[in-house]
Structure 1
Amino acid sequence: MKKSAITTVSISIIALSGCWNGAYYDGFNATAERSAETNTFGSATANNTAVHAGLLTNEMLANLTRKFASEALATVNFAFNSSRLDAETQAALQRQAAWIKAHPQIVFTVYGHTDKVGGNVFNQNLGKRRARAVANYLTSQGIPRAKLRAVASFGETRPLVLTEERNRQNRRTVTEVSGFGSHKKSGRLDGRYAIEIYDRYITLENQEFIREEGGLVTDTANEGGTK
């Protein structure tokens, strides 16, 4: 079995276990770090973990991820060598919490990042502290911990700005859509249920677009008629 497949299974098992203690964070972080070193983590990011489980298409998850990023501030930044949440960060996380509450079927992953200053192990731990701080703040805003499927650290391995110097853009956490939660009756993640919920979101978005555009779709359907 390829390493990428092993990594995917490891992440899925840890992420779906529902634990929220030190071992949970350490286990998930270790998987992320190991994958970053072998360049195989891309096969099991938050945007396609569910795809590997046969639940959703990449396009579905990408659409939900874009929706979340456009309506809430998915990325928050930190001061140098810090995991403290300042007033600006807390305001952004309050927007995230409001969006998450409005979409109860969707679950999320929080990823921590650092700049390149400092050693790799130190930065892995710092990224984890940042992700944990964000997750804890979201739960303080009424988000159930079960909604946050996993918390992980990429440390310094995925900078937005390629520099060895201090950089605020690289000192960040990113909250991403992971997929859909458990079906209320079965208590497990069900592919058909997930697709049904996704279709419901798309239908609601289309209805909202029609209202905002004043019947644009209806006019298009009757193209060639009296306007």
Structure 2
Amino acid sequence: MTTSEAILRLEILPASRLSCLAGDGLGSVLGGVCFSHPAQPLDAGELPLLAVDMRLPQGEEAICEIWHCAEPLASGRHGPIRYRQGETLLYGCISLDEIAPQDARAPLQAITEAAYLAIFELLEARGYHTVLRVWNYFSAINRESHAMERYRQFNIGRQDAFLALGRSLVDKVPAACALGTAGGGLHIAFLATRADVASVENPRQLSAYHYPSQYGPRSPTFARAGLAWLGGR
């Protein structure tokens, strides 16, 4: 993802310094993700901040990825989502526990669809037409349950949300990652924009949304990268 330093920048800092951010009244902080093992409860206040259970190299302390935005910012909640937005950008996060649905779907598939539907509902309500980047975290990503690898269950749930709202499954899809964690639940952070965005693919690599069925019943719905024109750049 390419960003303008004047609008959006990323800061990597130890979790122990989060209190300094809160002490400054959040200021330019848009949101972020903190990694520790086990996941540490975060007193983030109005800040959309995920606490992800991720094993770290021995001796390393909890670390956070914090996004800053140079626009005036306001925080809010929409159902299970915490978000913070400016005029051009919105950052949000959602965490859901895996609870067995009332139908035959795997729990991870069901909560993934629910999470993405909630995200799209928020963005529609706030007037952000494009998801620029999504970070997905859940446990046992390559383990099989309900007769299917969990990553494939996740792909089905994500795509079902896109299909339910008539969203494109190719070309203009968000850049994204899906990473396995040491703890349970589904945790998603996302960055949306009102700016123009172009999806970027690797010409030497098959686009994920064109993967053949041998890699799963549904192709993953994501782009390799996204290029956003922020602040006219």
TM-score, with normalisation over the residues of structure 1? Answer: 0.38
Q: Which of structures 1 and 2 has the bigger CA Rg?
A: 1
Structure number having the greater strand percentage: 2
Structure number having the greater helix percentage: 1
